[in-house]
Chain A
Amino acid sequence: MNALRAIDPATDKGPATGRPAVEIRHLSKWFGDFQVLKDVNLTVRNGERIVICGPSGSGKSTLIRCINHLEAHQEGEVIVNGTELKAGMKNLPALRRDIGMVFQQFNLFPHLTVLENCTLALVRAKKMSKAEAKEIAMRNLEKVRIPEQAEKYPSQLSGGQQQRVAIARALCMSPKIMLFDEPTSALDPEMIKEVLDVMTALACEGMTMLCVTHEMGFAREVADRIIFMDQGEIVEEAPPQKFFGAPEAGRTRRFLDQILH
């Protein structure tokens, strides 16, 4: 069974109260003539962990990038923490501070030290003092087990370390939701575990997470629901046990056969 869920009281409370963290209704998006997302519906409760998988080009990245409006959608609604995202909205930066994002390519700022990467948005966007920001940054760097690298530049770190810094940088903003877009796909195999461990720990704390990943071990252990996308549609949506044990759609089964060799 799911070892994590057994030890984690956060998920045993049943459905969290209040508004869902993310509500996506009839979301459609086009790049030119090409429809990337086709009438996607998805509700994520607070504290829920969602894993999204699917073949390349199926729209996984686009879907989670719609949640912090890195991509604008043309049809449907995206409501995050109770606020609907619309093109040209003024308080977008403020809304984005509640949504952390971790990218495949880390996207750390190469001209800033690890510590400065973490404090920049605290000081500039949250108007904190340098000392206060540093304290928060160090706390989060400890969380990802990398405080001793605080004064180094990203290029001096391994891929796994860089990705953990990227996670710490996002956590510094105290987000309510964390989005991960293939966080381990650019990493050498021996570094994947250290990043997944940090993500698992985060899940244990009850963070609301949406992760695009093909790490099925992680999905099995951590996810409340696994979503399979193909050609811009959600094809399958099920808890891990059902997803791996008895997937309904033929497309899901073929995909699982492929990635579980």
Chain B
Amino acid sequence: MSFDLSFAIRIIPQVLEGLGNTILVTVLASFGAALLGFTWEILRRSAKPMRYLMRFVIDFIRSTPVLVQLYFMFFVLPYYGILLPAMFVGIFGLSFYYSGYLAEVFKAGIDAIPRGQYEAAQSLGLSSFDTIVFVITPQMLRNIAAPMGSYFVSILKATPYLAVIAVPEMLGSAFDVASETYRYAEPMLVAGILFLILALTVAQLVQRLEKRLMLSTRR
């Protein structure tokens, strides 16, 4: 079966049907992962029992396969009366899994800020709240922009996992085309290229953001 370019072009609209969900899941899961990851990291920096608990939780999240986590939420929780819509499981599942990695990104970003920054803020009589908001966070954002962006791309590339819990997305649409027409090369290539374009777009956006942060936070 030779590669049919005109067929590949014809099926683009069908594959694009999944685009909306792919973007929606990527954006919301990125946001959720950052929010959860930041929360984990702040909790990990608090007093003792919580600190140890969070160290374990973060390691646990990162050391279990994302598919196991998704299956657990979608197929196991209903046994205990917790029935969650597939879309919610998809977004929350990816948020949860990647929050473990983003906690590490936040940790590195905060650790990179020299002690002297806190001491200068304290000796000026700034409150802890003002120190975090006006001194630490802006510097942390600069430190984390690049690694966080690469995790956003990872989240985009992880959206096809949601096929296992029947969330329609771009690879799923491509697969539908393939199973209807028994041609795999063209749908997979089209999906692959579309993912590539999306990934490059995310990377580009992050780079632009990073540049802007750099401009105002040069060392």
Listed in ascending order, the chain A residues whose CB lies under 8 Å from chain B are 68, 70, 93-97, 99-101, 103, 105, 107-111, 120-121, 124-125, 153, 155-156, 166, 169-170, 173
What is the number of residues of chain B that contact chain A, defined by CB distance less than 8 Å? 22
- Residue B134 contacts which of A97, A124, A170 (CB distance < 8 angstroms)? A124
Interface positions of B from 96 to 137, Cβ below 8 Å from A: 114, 116-117, 119-127, 130, 134-135
Check if B20 is an interface residue, CB within 8 A of chain A. no
Residues of A within 8 A of B124 (CB): 96-97, 120-121, 125, 169-170, 173
Give the CA-CA distance A95 to B119 in the complex, in Å: 15
> Which A residues touch B117, using CB under 8 A?
107, 109
Asked if residues B219 and A155 are in contact (CB atoms below 8 Å), the reply is yes
B139 and A93 form a contact (CB under 8 A) = no
Which of A70, A111, A153 is close to B138, meaning CB atoms less than 8 Å apart? Answer: A111
Are A111 and B123 in touch, CB under 8 angstroms? Answer: no
In the complex, whether B142 has a CB less than 8 A from a CB of chain A is yes
The distance in angstroms between the C-alpha atoms of A70 and B120, with both chains bound, is 10
For residue B63, CB closer than 8 A to chain A, the reply is no
SS class, residues of chain B in contact with chain A: helix
Residue B217 is within 8 A (CB to CB) of chain A in the complex? yes
| B216 within 8 Å of A (CB atoms) | yes
B125→A97 contact, CB < 8 A: yes
Q: Is the CB of B134 within 8 A of A120?
A: yes
In the complex, B218 has a CB within 8 A of chain A: yes
A105 partner residues in chain B, CB cutoff 8 A = 114, 116
Q: Given A103-B120, A120-B134, are A93 and B217 neighbors across the interface (CB < 8 Å)?
A: no
Residues of B within 8 A of A (CB): 114, 116-117, 119-127, 130, 134-135, 138-139, 142, 216-219
B122 touching A96, Cβ below 8 Å: yes
Question: Which residues does chain A contribute within 8 Å of B122, judged by CB atoms?
Answer: 68, 70, 93, 96
Interface centre among A68, A110, A120 (most CB of B within 10 A): A110
Contacts beyond the supplied A109-B135, A170-B123: 18 A-B pairs with Cβ under 8 Å: A68-B122, A93-B122, A93-B125, A96-B122, A101-B123, A107-B120, A110-B139, A110-B218, A110-B219, A111-B139, A111-B217, A120-B134, A120-B135, A121-B124, A124-B126, A156-B218, A170-B124, A173-B125
CB neighbours of B216 from chain A (8 A)? 111, 153
The 4 closest A-B pairs by CB, nearest first: A97-B125, A111-B217, A107-B116, A107-B120
Q: Bound state CA distance, A156 and B119, in angstroms?
A: 22
Q: How far is the CA of A99 from the CA of B119 in the complex (A)?
A: 13
Residues from chain B with Cβ under 8 Å of A108 in the complex: 120
B residues near A169, Cβ cutoff 8 Å: 124
B219 cross-chain contacts in A, Cβ below 8 A: 110, 155
Chain B residues within 8 Å of A93, by CB: 122, 125-127
What is the minimal beta-carbon distance from A234 to any residue of chain B, in angstroms?
23
Q: Determine the chain B residues whose CB is within 8 A of the CB of A97 once the complex forms.
A: 124-125
Closest to A126 in B: B125
Contact, CB under 8 Å: A125 / B120: no
CA distance A125 to B134 in the complex (A): 12
Chain B contacts for A101, CB-based, 8 A: 119-120, 123
Beta-carbon nearest neighbor of A95 in chain B: B125
Among the interface residues A95, A100, A105, A111, which one has the most CB atoms of the partner chain B within 10 A? A111
CB within 8 A of B126: which of A70, A120, A170?
A120
* Alpha-carbon distance A156/B139, docked complex (angstroms): 17
